[in-house]
Amino acid sequence: MAQDLLLPEFIYPRLQSQRLGKTIHHFLETGSTNDAARQLAEQGAAEGTLVLGEEQTQGRGRLGRSWLSERGAGIYASILLRPVLKPRDAAVLTLVAAVAGSEAIEQACDLRTDIKWPNDLLLRGRKCCGILSEMQADRDDIRYVIVGIGINVNHSAFPAELGECATSLRIEGKQTYSRVALLCELLRRFELLYDDWQRGSLARVLQAWVDRSSFAFGKHVTVDLGRGKKLEGHTAGLSELGNLKVKLADGRVEEVLSGDIVAWR
Ligand code: BTN
């Protein structure tokens, strides 16, 4: 699928977003597209600058994990954003990215993903897309956010150590997909939702997330909060900042700002 390289000349003719992806930096190989995007951000690159890698040698995931980035098989993309917002509002951006990813996969590949809080996209309970947002902020203002998105598109298999946790669109849909088409749809959806959110339509973004997630309400979850702390209970929706509300056995409702759902039923 030589034509499906994520080269700017293949993307620009199909691009429907106005700002996201207007400037593209494409690497055949890079350490992490998030790191490359951060360098560009520090040099003053504009909002919407997009960094793409055909392969990452040090792809990073959330919570210090690595991200498998097989050459030419997935989408490894980082988008530079400069939202005019307070740092505490940035968590919602992660949900925006998850909804955009879920909508794009449905539109371009006809596969309906579930969103595991905060932003893992699942098919049959296995992860096909992850998002790593990294922010630089002063005390009161966001300087920029790098939203890194990894989608397992045309992977045919995963190493044994990932076991039952990972899947790809190809494995689930039993066909290969155009990464260019999926990426362009992702940028279009992302920009629409991002603009909605920046204009203050936060409730619409949160509702879109809830509509696409079986984790939003009534799911029994164990959340790893880090530093050896865990929390168990039933999910009870999102707070207005995008935190996950969990109802504990004693009836108290806790809001989780960051963490990892490690078990659910
Ligand atoms: C996760 O679910 O743990 C987040 C995975 C994020 C992976 C993407 S791939 C593009 C960008 N560059 C990285 O090094 N990580 C993100």
Give tens-digit pLDDT for 3-36: 689 999 999 999 999 999 999 999 999 999 999 9
Cα 251 to ligand 1 centre (Å): 36
Report the alpha-carbon distance of residue 50 to residue 203 in Å, rounded.
27
Average pLDDT over residues 72-90: 92
Please state the atom number of ligand 1 nearest to the C-alpha of residue 33.
12
Average pLDDT over residues 38-42: 98
How much is the mean pLDDT over the chain? 94
Q: What residue's CA is closest to ligand 1, atom 7?
A: 150
Q: Which helix (H) or strand (E) holds 103?
A: helix 91-109
Query: Does 223 score more than 70 pLDDT?
Result: yes
Report the alpha-carbon distance of residue 72 to residue 31 in Å, rounded.
15
- Beta-carbon-side half-sphere exposure of residue 213 (alpha carbons within 13 Å): 29
DSSP-derived secondary structure letter, 66:
B
* CB 198 within 8 Å of CB 211: no
Cα 236 to ligand 1 centre (Å): 27
Q: What residue's CA is closest to ligand 1, atom 9?
A: 150
Go through 247-264 and write b for each residue having 16 or more CB atoms within 10 A of its CB, e for each that does not.
beeeeeeeebeebbbeee
Split at pLDDT 50, 70, 90, the class of 133 is very high
Report the pocket of ligand 1 as residue ranges, CB < 6 Å. Answer: 32-34, 56, 59-62, 65, 67, 76-78, 120, 130-132, 148-150
Q: What are phi and psi of 57, to 5 degrees?
A: -90, -20
Q: Which class for 189: exposed (0-12), middle (13-18), buried (19 or more C-beta within 10 A)?
A: buried
Cα 250 to ligand 1 centre (Å): 36
